[in-house]
């Protein structure tokens, strides 16, 4: 592990360590399938090993690392079957989350989604890097789940999103134009939602999810794990 990780502040060390390690995985600085050495990471972050250990446990809960008894901590190395499963689970749950938003907080949801679209376009105009564009793109989905009012659905999303993001971050075929196309799909969903056409909005959302699934799974079938490919 040759990654240079930034030091963390003294408050919320475990959470900061988790966020830093997660981003290092997403950016390919920590490779898929790489073994993580607790002591080395603690030294780089300039903290004790305890918050690093706590960060590992949280990252394992959200599917980014695997803790193997007597064999250390390893970054996950997902395959096409893993990606198919998370997209199928997403396709089953996110349309229902959108329907709950329509029932419970339609105005708030539309307002936040429109702001997300505007922020995405600003980032695009300023030529933000692909990592920032992908993160901003996923904020659309985060808004849908956070406004649905169903704690279990929110928990499901928290478990799914790290692997979903890995699918995009490690896709060497994903370009800025793909992120722009995703944003257009989001605009169509918002428009149907605003018109009260919730079934149409759900259908558009499912189509969007399935298109993303096809893009990501095809990349994994080709063996395209980008920066994280350590074969």
pLDDT band at 170 (very low <50, low <70, confident <90, very high): confident
Least confident of 112-121, 135-144, 159-168, 206-215: 159-168
Domains located in the chain, CATH noted? 13-75 (1.10.10.10), 80-228 (1.20.120.530)
Q: What pLDDT does residue 3 have?
A: 65
Most confident of 34-38, 182-186, 217-221: 34-38
3-60 pLDDT per residue, tens: 666 656 556 789 999 989 988 998 888 999 999 999 999 999 989 999 999 999 999 9
66-84 pLDDT per residue, tens: 999 989 999 998 999 999 9
Q: What pLDDT does residue 231 have?
A: 36
Q: What pLDDT does residue 68 have?
A: 93
Q: With pLDDT > 90 as the criterion, what percentage of the chain qualifies?
A: 62
Over residues 186-210, mean pLDDT: 97
Would the pTM count as exceeding 0.85?
Answer: no
Q: How far apart are CA 211 and CA 126, in angstroms?
A: 27
DSSP character string of the chain: ----PPP--SSSHHHHHHHHHHHHHHTTSS-TTPEE-HHHHHHHHTS-HHHHHHHHHHHHHTTSEEEETTTEEEE----HHHHHHHHHHHHHHHHHHHHHHHHH-HHHHHHHHHHHHHHHHHHHHTT--HHHHHHHHHHHHHHHHHTS--HHHHHHHHHHHHHHHHHHHT-TT--HHHHHHHHHHHHHHHHHHHTT-HHHHHHHHHHHHHHHHHHHHHHHHTT--GGG---
Asked whether the predicted pLDDT for residue 93 surpasses 80, the reply is yes
Asked whether the predicted pLDDT for residue 229 surpasses 50, the reply is no
Asked whether the predicted pLDDT for residue 202 surpasses 90, the reply is yes
């Amino acid at each position: 592990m040759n990654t240079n990780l930034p030091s963390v502040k003294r408050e919320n060390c475990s959470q900061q360590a988790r966020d830093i390690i997660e981003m290092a995985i997403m950016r390919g600085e920590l490779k898929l399938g790489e073994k993580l050495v607790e002591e080395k990471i603690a030294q780089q972050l300039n903290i004790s090993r305890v918050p690093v250990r706590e960060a590992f446990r949280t990252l394992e809960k959200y599917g980014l690392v695997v803790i193997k008894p007597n064999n250390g901590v390893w970054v996950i190395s997902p395959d096409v079957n893993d990606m198919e499963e998370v997209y199928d689970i997403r396709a089953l749950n996110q349309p229902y989350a959108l329907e709950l938003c329509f029932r419970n907080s339609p105005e708030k949801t539309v307002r936040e989604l429109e702001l997300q679209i505007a922020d995405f376009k600003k980032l695009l105009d300023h030529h933000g890097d692909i990592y920032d564009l992908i993160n901003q793109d996923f904020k659309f989905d985060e808004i849908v789940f956070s406004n649905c009012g169903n704690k279990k659905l929110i928990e499901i999303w928290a478990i799914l999103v790290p692997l979903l993001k890995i699918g995009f971050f490690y896709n060497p075929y994903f370009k800025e134009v793909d992120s722009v196309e995703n944003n257009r799909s989001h605009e169509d969903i918002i428009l149907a939602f605003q018109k009260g056409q919730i079934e149409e909005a759900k259908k558009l959302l499912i189509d969007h999810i399935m298109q993303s699934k096809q893009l990501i799974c095809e990349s994994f079938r080709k063996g395209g794990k980008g920066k994280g490919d350590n074969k």
